[in-house]
Amino acid sequence: MKHNFASFVKKETLHILRDKRTMLIVMLIPVVLMVLFGFAISTEVNNVNVAVVAPNRTDGVRDAVERLSQNGYFTFKGYISHGEIDSYLRAGKAGAVLVFAPDYDRGVAQMDAGIPIKPLVRLVVDASNVNTAGSATAYLQSVLLGSASQQSMFETRMLFNPQMKSAYSFVPGIMGLIFILVCAMMTSVSIVREKEVGTMEVLLVSPVRPVKIVFAKMIPYFAISCIVLVTIMMLARYLLGVPMSGGMWGVFLLSLLYLLLSLSLGLLVSTIVDTQMAALLISAMVMMMPILMLSGMLFPIENLPGFFRIVSNVVPARWYIDAVRKMMIQGVSIVAVWKNCVILLVMTVTILGVSLKKFNDKLE
């Protein structure tokens, strides 16, 4: 009977290949999302124009300005006078203005000697875009502090993602979303289509067990998802420059588990609904919304109200995105996120078990 399993997979593959439009969308969506989130939608500090007000252009000031202009994220726009600050910011000629105190050098020297002093630098920032302003401020501070880090009571250091590149944190989120889209939505639609068209009736009146039919359906979608996975990883690594310091294999392995989970979810949906439209709606509404809202992809879990924080525990994407983020950006290995792996594994087994039990080999 091995022979007929191969035929099922072949038939399923033909279905997918013949539907060129869907195929194209599935292959293109990840790329578009990656590029969109990676470049267009960014809250990161990039190309901030900085003007400087310095009554005395002392060595200390020149040194600070030098550090600033050598940094790729800032462009030094020149020295301006006090009166010009407002007009520069309003006209958008500068995103931030640094105002040095007249006795900057002496102040730095006193501070190095451990004598408490008043602030030496004022930072005026255009906060019309709150996100950019916030991260620009933080990053500018860290650049300026440089050696003279004693200036502040808190010593803030951004580990792992010092430039606060937003692409880094979006990549795991996109992965969590896309695999649910490709696997869950496409498998559920493809199984339900057989019900809707009536071919399921013919398939059931055959000696082949439905489990076999279902698994045969999953294989091509699993293969497609693997291609998508590799595409995303490559884009993340080489286009967006995500460090992947925890090793690609860990991410890959965990993603395979997540793919299985998504396929099982798709199977579960297909056992509940009878029309392709309903399958689409359930996949889109019931699965996508929690991923967007409750998985930590857009909003940190810690910021969610209590009730939703509890709900977020059953959203598989939450555990997946969290683990991938740790592995990709923090650089830990898969062993360090074993808890997430176990949770995802238990979820997969449960969902698969329930849906196989629910999958009926009769019509009702």
Partner 1 sequence: MSAIEIHNLSKCFAKTKAVDNVSFCVEKGELFGLIGPDGAGKTTLFRLLTTLLNPDSGNAKVDGCDIVEDYIAIRSRVGYMPGRFSLYPDLTVEENLQFFAALFGADVEESYELIAPVYKHIEPFRARRAGKLSGGMKQKLALSCALIHRPSVLFLDEPTTGVDAVSRSEFWDMLACLKEKGLTILVSTPYMDEALRCDRIALCNEGRVLCIDTPKEIIRRFERKLYGISAKSMFRLLEKARKATGVEDCYPFGEKHHLVVNDKFDVESFKIELGDIEGLQIVSVESTIEDMFIKLMK
Near partner 1 by CB under 8 A: residue from 31, 123, 208, 278: 208
One of 203, 226, 304, 311 touching partner 1 (CB under 8 A): 203
Backbone angles phi, psi at 75, to 5 degrees: -120, 125
20 binds partner 1 (CB under 8 A): no
Residue 219 near partner 1 by CB under 8 A: no
Q: How far is CA 254 from CA 83, 260, 261, 326, 335, in A?
A: 57, 10, 11, 12, 11
Q: What is the residue-wise DSSP string for 190-209? A: HHHHHHHHTHHHHHHSSSS-
Residue of 13, 15, 55, 143 that binds partner 1 (CB under 8 A): 15
Tell me if 232 sits within 8 A of 28, measured CB to CB. no
String marking each residue 168-197 x if it binds partner 1 according to CB under 8 A: -----------------------------x
In degrees rounded to 5, what are phi and psi of residue 74?
-125, 145
The three-state secondary structure class of 277 is helix
The answer to whether 50 touches 123, Cβ cutoff 8 Å, is no
Q: In the structure encoding, which two tokens stand for residue 299, read together?
A: 């909003």
DSSP string, 105-172: HHHHHHHHTT------EEEEE--SSHHHHHHHHHHHHHHHHTT-GGGSSS-----S-TT--HHHHHHH
Residue whose CB is less far from partner 1, 1 or 113: 1
Instruction: Find the part of the chain contacting partner 1 (CB under 8 A) among 104-112, 150-158, 203-211, 309-317.
Output: 203-211
**Residue 4 binds partner 1, judged by CB under 8 A:** yes
Among 35, 204, 280, 292, binds partner 1 (CB under 8 A): 204
- Our finding on whether 363 is near partner 1 (CB under 8 A) is yes
Closest approach of partner 1 to the CB of residue 206, in Å: 5
User: Shortest distance, CB of residue 1 to partner 1, whole angstroms?
Assistant: 6
In this chain, which of 115, 116, 335, 364 binds partner 1, going by CB under 8 A? Answer: 364
Least Å distance, CB 209 to partner 1, is 9
Radius of gyration of the chain (CA): 27
Q: Which stretch binds partner 1 (CB under 8 A): 4-12, 69-77, 162-170, 296-304?
A: 4-12
> Which member of 13, 19, 105, 142 binds partner 1 (CB under 8 A)?
19
* Residue 199 within binding range of partner 1, rule CB under 8 A: yes
Q: Name the packing angle between helices 104-112 and 59-70 (round to 10°).
A: 90
198 binds partner 1 (CB under 8 A): yes
- Does 1 sit near partner 1 (CB under 8 A)? yes
DSSP 217-247: HHHHHHHHHHHHHHHHHHIIIIIS----TT-
Is 7 a binder of partner 1 (CB under 8 A)?
yes
Nearest distance, CB of residue 277 and partner 1, angstroms: 18
**What is the 8-class DSSP label of residue 83?**
G
For 259-337, list the strands marked E by DSSP: none
Q: Minimal distance in Å, beta carbon 201 to partner 1?
A: 5
345 binds partner 1 (CB under 8 A): no
- Judged by CB under 8 A, does residue 3 bind partner 1? yes
Is 8 one of the binding residues for partner 1 (CB under 8 A)?
Answer: yes
| Footprint of partner 1 (CB under 8 A) | 1, 3-4, 6-8, 11, 14-15, 18-19, 197-199, 201-208, 362-364
